[in-house]
Amino acid sequence: MLALRKTSTGFGLEFQDVPDAQPPGPGEVVLKVDAVGICGSDVHAYEWTGGYEFMTDRMPVTMGHEFSATVWRCGTGTGFKGGERVCVIPMVACGACRNCRANDSRNCLNRQGIGLTRDGGFAGQVRVPAACCVALPDAVDAELGALVEPLGVGAEAVLTGEVKLGDTVLVMGPGTIGQAIALFARRAGAARVLISGRADAPRFEVCRNLGFTDLLDVAEAPLQDLVMAATGGRPVDVVLEATGVPATLNDGIGVLKKGGTCVVVGIHAGAVTLPLTDFVRNRHQLRASHGCERRTWDRVIAHLASDPEGFRPMITHRMPLERGIEGFELSRQRAASKVILTP
């Protein structure tokens, strides 16, 4: 079968003809991939920016961690049967480390990442633990099922930031994760959701199609000026950063109210310096959010099932897997928001 793989360090990916997935063992399933999204993390690995060196020892590896699929073959004790539709939690816990033994598998010390350190969804088939599979209702079709993972990241960030009814929220970064954050901030009761970006017209247009109007282009003016003009001079209650650009963090904290919370979600290739005296005196809270809890997956799927068309504008391009490199370039150049590939 055709697979899109990271074969070596440095820029690029490679199509390879690889064997079909091996038969499933106990507790495993073989899935036929229905739809798989190109993630910002995938683009970073494609470009080989800092922060993805952990993949080196696992290459060559088939990438793709945002996907939905149909169960094809089942090992013993899976609880699934052939033909069921699922999305996939892309984290595999070892089950043996002290955190797993303490029922804290999300913080497994030996975790593997589907699509990063073990084969993922940029192929026709993939073998995964059944524990990673989450059933999809009929109302959530294949391409929306491929959105569950990034939507979960956004939903978890909103939970981490404790967004409340009536809050004014600044989302930094209008890409897929920023869009997911904005959607769930609005569903959490935020009165206003401001979204900032830099000269990112295609993704701003997606935000408009999702119903957001407070779009701030920092190519036109400093973020602080844009936010204060939008809010009438009032700092925001919560900042959620999804840019992946370290320098933006201080800009976001600069418009945060005293005692407000900033949640960092982006993956950053470099360090940041904080003005700690101001940070302390303003009692700012700096938090990190990465991935999401299992229960958040269920909540996201429930939201998708209740309003599938409310999320569909996030998807801007649909392509066969054979055009995957083109899809990566569209994502890399920010000409696309979310690209969905179909093996």
CATH number of 152-288: 3.40.50.720
Mean pLDDT of the chain: 96
Write b or e for each residue in 23-62: b if 16 or more Cβ atoms lie within 10 A of its Cβ, otherwise e. ebeeebbbbbbbbbbbbbbbbbbbebeeebeebeeeeebb
For position 51, what pLDDT does the model report? 84
For position 242, what pLDDT does the model report? 97
Mean pLDDT of the 114-136 span: 97
Mean pLDDT of the 35-44 span: 95
| Helix segments in the chain, DSSP class H | 40-47, 98-101, 142-145, 148-161, 176-187, 201-209, 223-231, 248-253, 276-281, 294-306, 324-332
Q: Where are the domains of the chain?
A: 2-147+311-342, 152-288
Q: Is the model's pLDDT at 50 over the cut of 90?
A: no
pLDDT tens string 169-202: 999 999 999 999 999 999 999 999 999 999 999 9
Mean pLDDT of the 219-240 span: 98
pLDDT tens string 8-17: 999 999 999 9
For position 49, what pLDDT does the model report? 87
CATH number of 2-147+311-342: 3.90.180.10
For position 84, what pLDDT does the model report? 98
- Which residues have C-beta within 8 Å of that of residue 199, sequence separation ≥ 6? 217, 219
Give the integer Cα–Cα distance in Å for 2 and 125: 9
Residue 27 one-letter amino acid: G
Residue 257: strand pairing partners: none
- Cα dihedral angle (62, 319, 136, 309), rounded to 10 degrees? 140
pTM as predicted: 0.96
For position 203, what pLDDT does the model report? 96
For position 80, what pLDDT does the model report? 96
Contact 224, 254 (CB under 8 A): yes
